Structure formats: structure tokens, C-alpha cells
Amino acid sequence: MASTDKTMALPETPAELERIPLVSNQRSIGWISDQVCAIMEGKLPMWWWAAFIPSLMLLCLLGTMLVYQVTTGVGVWGNRHPVMWGWDIINFVWWIGIGHAGTLISAILFLLRQKWRTAVNRASEAMTIFAVMCAGIYPALHVGRVWYDWWLFPIPNSNGIWPQFRSPLMWDVFAVSTYFTVSVLFWYMGLIPDLAVMRDRCTTKVRQFFYGLFSLGWTGSNRHWRNYEKAYLILAGVSTPLVLSVHSIVSLDFAVSQLPGWHTTIFPPYFVAGAVFSGFGMVLTLLVPLRSMFKLEDVITMRHIDIMCKVTLATGSIVGYAYGMEFFIAWYSGNPSEQFHFLNRAFGPYQWGWIMMMSCNTLVPQLFWFKKFRQNLKYVFIISILVNIGMWFERFVIIVIGLHRDFLPSNWAYFKPTWVDICTFLGTFGLFFTLFLLFLRFLPMIAISEVKGVTPQADPHHPLGGAKPKNNGH
Amino acid sequence: MNGNSPKPYGVIAEFITPADVMHAAEKVRDAGYKRWDVFTPFPVHGMDKAMGLGNSKVGWFAFLGGVTGYTTGMLMIWYLNAVDYPLVIGGKPMFSPFSAFPPSYELTILFSAFGSLFGMMFLNRLPRLHHPLLKNRRFARVTHDRYFLVVECADPKYSEIATHKLLEQTGSSHIEVVEE
């Protein structure tokens, strides 16, 4: 498709006021749909299969492990007295934390008018949905008798007893299921105009049918866009308190208990910051390789990477502050159990876990203060993986160190995961990457219409958007 | 009805830049047309004003959804835990607005999200499986990089000559009649 801006001259802007454009090389808006849709239209690259087949095998491993757990009993996991929450809850919190970046990018950054979000929001929202699916497996399975999971819903059991809503575990059911549902709605609504793009350019009958069906007959009518934009704004508005509440409520699962190390008021904000931190870690892990494999360097530019590194740095520093504050409060409270717990964190038998957490979460992200690290994709990729590892260890530290030495020394024990724990966790990666790779192949991984909307060619008051020079004065 | 000669649906004018289609929309608005629309690959800022459209009503659907969600949550928890089968748990009150708040808050958000998505679909009369414009091959570029202005024949002011003339004056690159 021919570019529309050949004859337009750029306005003179002083060099120091020039902002790095969100789409590099002055790509035309037609180029954006061509480039993004090429991912779904071209031949599948070898690396896709090289990633998909192992993912599918891990997914089978997950299925096997879950069948084994359900048919044998929850004892195949390493959860033993006194560590009754083991890898299941660690992995639940870890996956759901990863899910937070998607909604943060799509909702909070939308309200803050951060236009760079358009290049990364679709993939992050997909990541959110798949991560929440991985997370949801654990609470459903760790009850031991999955066939009683319906007791979590407001349905009376055979004795007419209802679930009791004074427990944060019930709040969590509502928070996580609402989060999943609203994330799917938000994601789908953003997809409608892009599915219409696919409908209008695909060539096979099957694709025409399915893209046509799911784009709901979208025509791009301005009367429709008006309602659409309002609905998008409202969804962003309600998702913002939602994303903040979900991990707050997850943290209340811990904070409402009486356990030293868990019973603290800092948990909700600290969990939310940690969730955003790990979520951005995962977004970087996924997008840094994808942008070069799919030749999307002009859409996900170095400026995007730079901003995301800065968000990682900021949230990582908040998490580091919370770690320090926990120690300070333990000392300041004068509570011997609290003080013992924190000394046990740093110097007890799980000191290695604590060191992993502290180094990956508080020290490593500090490298992002330097532009050299933010602009080097190898460093960004490695640091983002270390962030993911560090955040896994944070949950390990909170849960296992919090439980393994309780008030009675005769109860103390050293927790070890079983092979089923490890294989189930590996299996969730299979579920996540299988779904994510299918998403890359069948749905536009960049929000096409939103990226078009932030280019200068889309602005009717910009010369590239066709404005006459005399109208250019603001 | 008359299978031999299809009825015309409207006249479509194609534009290459958003500024062109916006100025055209201003002219069509000022000419007093009612059944017409602008089609763009992305929402163009300022187009609502250029078309003379007011605020969207989606907000009401979301608000009603939110109110329904919060009331449902509070009433449900009160009825289940304080009326139908009260259980003493840790000496806590049978019903407290504080412990009932988190689930009700989530239901507020859930229902208002449904309200805004379904409200948007209802106001836009979507899903729609058939549309005359979607059969037009040129119009397929509306999701790619072209901008269209369409005046329907059902508009009371529509006349084949005057409407064509008006659209020609707006500097459209291509004008044609689309059939039903």
C-alpha cells in the first residue's frame, strides 16, 4: 500500500524539543497493519515450532501431574506440617503477580495518557490472561478434593451451609475470578477493531468466517467509535481499582492471619508493587526477543524498552524499600516473635532463598539507573529473567520461611518440594507458552488501531494528518 | 422486493487523510444531513465535534451495572451469612459491611465492566452479521489506511445530484454509490 505522506513536509521543531516518535522511521499507517498482520499471514518461522513443541510437551506434563495429584491425593505435593502452603501458593502468587503488568499497562497507563502503551498493551494483556489461568490451577487443586471446589461459590452445600464471607480466602475467589473476567472483556474489546482488520485482509474462507464472526460486524463507524472509546475509558477506569485490589486481597490472605512476617499492614501496597515489578519483568522477557523476531523494532522502539526498564527500576525500588521497612518494623515493634522471624529470614536455614530474593529484586534492577544497561537488549533480557526469579523467591521467602519455624520449636521442620511440585510448576510454563504462541499466530500481538491512532498521520491537526499549514498554530 | 435492480444504500466518498475527512464531515453536518457517518481505521480526535455528536451514553450502562453489582454483593452476603444460615466464626459479627466490602467491590467492577461492554454493543447495534458497506471492495481499506464518509439514501435530505455535488466539493478522491 502506498504511503500517504510523501508530499507532506515536516514542520520545523527545535532539536531540543523533539520527542522520540512512538513509531520510528515515519512509517505510514498502512505499514502498521501490514507489518503486524504479516506475523499471522506469513509462513510459520522455525523458531515458533521449536518453541511450540516443547511447550506442548510441558502442557502434557501438567495434565499428567494434575491427574496424578487428583487421583492420588494432595499428599503428592511437598506440603507438610508445619509448611502447609508450599509451592502451590508460591506459584499461585507468582503467576498472578505476573498478570498484573497487563492490566496496569492497559488501564492505568491509559488513564495517565501514556501513549507508548499502545505498542505493548495487547501482548501484555494476553500475558495477563494466560498467567491468571496458570495461577488459577493452584487454588483449585490445592484444596485436595477438587470435586468440592464448588463450595467456594455462593451455592449451599448438602447441609444448606453457605460459604462464609468473613474469610479473605473467599474475597480472593471473587477478586481473582473478577480479575480474569474483566481482563478477558478488556482484551476482547480492544481486539474487535483489529479482528476487523484481519477480516478485511485475510484470504482463506475459514479465517474470513472466524475473524468476521468475532469482529461483530465492526465497520469503523465514528458513531461506533464514540461509544467504543467511552466504553474503553470506563473499562480502564474500573480496571484500575481492580488491579490494585486483586493483589491487595491476595496479600490479605497472609496479612489477616496472626503469623509473624505475615501480619503486617505494609503487605497490600508492597504486594501490588511487587506484582507490577514481576509483570514488567515478564513483559520484557517476552517482548525483547519478539520485537526482533517479528521485525517490530519500529513499533516497539528502544524508547519503549527504556520506559519499561524505568518502571521496573521504580517498582523494584519500592519492593526494596518494603523489605527494609519490614526489618525496621520487626525491630521497632519490640515483638520477639517478629524479630525472630526476620533474623531467621536472613540467617536461618533458608538464607540462600533470602539472598536470592534480595539480590535479584533489590540489587539487580538498580543497574537500570544507567542508560547503558537500559539500551542493551542482552542486559535487559538477562535482568528481566533475574527479576522473575527474584520474585519467585520473594514468595518462597514469605511462605516457607514464614511457616517452617512457628511458635513451638518442636514443630520446626525443613520444607522440601517433591518431584510432583517441580513437574507441575514446569507444566504451567507449558500451558502459558502454548497459549501465548497460539495467540501470536492467530491474533494481532500489537493493537493495530491504537498504534495507528498515536502516529502523527492520524492527527487531523498535524501536517502529516493532512492539516493545512495555517491551521497548525495551536 | 425487486430482485432485479438492487436498491442503493448510500453514496460513499473516500479520503486520504484524517484532516480531509474531518473537514468534509463539518460540511455535511452544516448541510443538515442526519443519516450519515464517517468511517476511520482508528478513532479520529475531534471527529465527534465535526459530526455534531454529543456525549456517549455508555456511562449509564456501566453505572447501572456497578450499582447492581454492589447491591447484589452486600445483600447476598448479608442474606447468606446473617439470615439463611448464620455461623459463628471466630466471634466475628454475622454481618459486617467491612468484611462484606471486598467481594461487593469486586462485583461492582465485574458488573460495570459487563455494563460498559454490552452497553457499547447495544448502542452500536452490534453484533451485526451483515452490512452493505462491508460488501464494497474499496471500503475494505477502511480498516487499513483510508477514511470514508457515507451519506445514506434514507436521509431525508438525500438527493442524488445535490449530495454528490456536496461530496465533490469536499475534495474526496473517489465517490461511488453503494448498493443494499
Question: What's the whole-number average pLDDT of chain A?
Answer: 90
Closest to B171 in 3D by CA, of B15, B8, B2, B5: B15
The angle formed by the CA atoms of residues A111, A113 and A118, to the nearest 5 degrees, is 100
Minimal Cα–Cα distance from B160 to chain A, Å? Answer: 22
Would the CB atoms of A178 and B41 count as touching at under 8 Å? no
pLDDT at position A473, please? 45
User: pLDDT tens, A103-127?
Assistant: 888 888 889 888 888 999 999 999 9
Task: Closest CB to A220: pick one of B17, B41, B127.
Answer: B41
Judged by DSSP in three states, B13 sits in: strand
Each domain of chain B, given as residue ranges in start order, spans 8-54+130-179, 58-123
User: What grid cell was written down for A451?
Assistant: 498504534
Would the CB atoms of A222 and B44 count as touching at under 8 Å? yes
pLDDT at position A470, please? 57
User: pLDDT tens, B148-158?
Assistant: 999 998 888 88
A250: chain B residues, CB-CB within 8 Å = none
pLDDT at position A466, please? 81
Instruction: Phi first, then psi: give them for residue A441, nearest 5 degrees.
Output: -80, -35
Would the CB atoms of B145 and A28 count as touching at under 8 Å? yes
Q: Which CATH number fits domain A84-114+178-410: 1.10.150, 1.10.287, 1.20.120, 1.20.1630?
A: 1.20.1630
A223: chain B residues, CB-CB within 8 Å = 37, 51, 53, 124
Q: Give ipTM to 2 decimals.
A: 0.93
A461: chain B residues, CB-CB within 8 Å = 19, 46
Helix residue ranges per DSSP H, A115-221 = 117-142, 168-201, 205-214
Mean pLDDT of B24-46: 91
Tell me which residue has cell 514542520: A11
B66 in contact with A, Cβ within 8 Å: yes
DSSP B150: E
Count, residues in chain B = 180
Alpha-carbon distance A190 to A232, whole Å?
Answer: 8
Alpha-carbon distance B21 to A154, whole Å?
Answer: 53
- What residues pair up with B149 in beta bridges, in sequence order? B13, B38
Tell me which residue has cell 480466602: A169
**How many CA atoms, within 13 angstroms, populate the side-chain half-sphere of residue A338?**
15
Would the CB atoms of A222 and B37 count as touching at under 8 Å? yes
What CA dihedral angle connects A252, A253, A259 and A261, to 10 degrees?
-60
Chain A stretch 435-464, residues whose beta carbon is closer than 8 A to a beta carbon of chain B = 449-450, 452-453, 457-461
B100 in contact with A, Cβ within 8 Å: yes
Nearest residue in A to B118, CA atom? A231
Judged by DSSP in three states, B18 sits in: helix
A224: chain B residues, CB-CB within 8 Å = 124, 126
Residue among A174, A219, A250 with most chain B CBs within 10 A, to mutate: A219
Would the CB atoms of A242 and B109 count as touching at under 8 Å? yes
User: pLDDT tens, A166-182?
Assistant: 999 999 999 999 999 99
A199 in contact with B, Cβ within 8 Å: yes
Would the CB atoms of A226 and B100 count as touching at under 8 Å? no
B39: chain A residues, CB-CB within 8 Å = 219-222
Mean pLDDT of B74-86: 94
Residue A3 has pLDDT above 70, yes or no: no
User: pLDDT tens, A243-282?
Assistant: 999 989 989 999 998 898 899 899 999 999 999 999 999 9
- At A22, the pLDDT band (50, 70, 90 cuts) reads confident
Longest dimension (CA), chain A: 83
Each domain of chain A, given as residue ranges in start order, spans 84-114+178-410
B42: chain A residues, CB-CB within 8 Å = 29, 193, 225, 449-450, 452-453, 458
Task: Closest CB to B144: pick one of A33, A230, A471.
Answer: A33
Residue A183 has pLDDT above 90, yes or no: yes
Alpha-carbon distances, residue A449 vs A193, A246, A436 (angstroms): 7, 29, 21
pLDDT at position A1, please? 43
Would the CB atoms of A178 and B106 count as touching at under 8 Å? yes
Helix residue ranges per DSSP H, B3-96 = 18-30, 47-51, 58-78
Question: What's the whole-number average pLDDT of chain B?
Answer: 90
Residue A5 has pLDDT above 60, yes or no: no
Q: Which CATH number fits domain B8-54+130-179: 1.25.10, 3.90.930, 3.90.1200, 3.30.70?
A: 3.30.70
Residue A453 has pLDDT above 70, yes or no: yes
pLDDT at position A8, please? 55
A474 CB-contact burial (10 Å; exposed 0-12 / middle 13-18 / buried 19+): exposed
Spatial contact of A317 and A309, defined as CB atoms under 8 Å apart: no
Residue A324 has pLDDT above 70, yes or no: yes
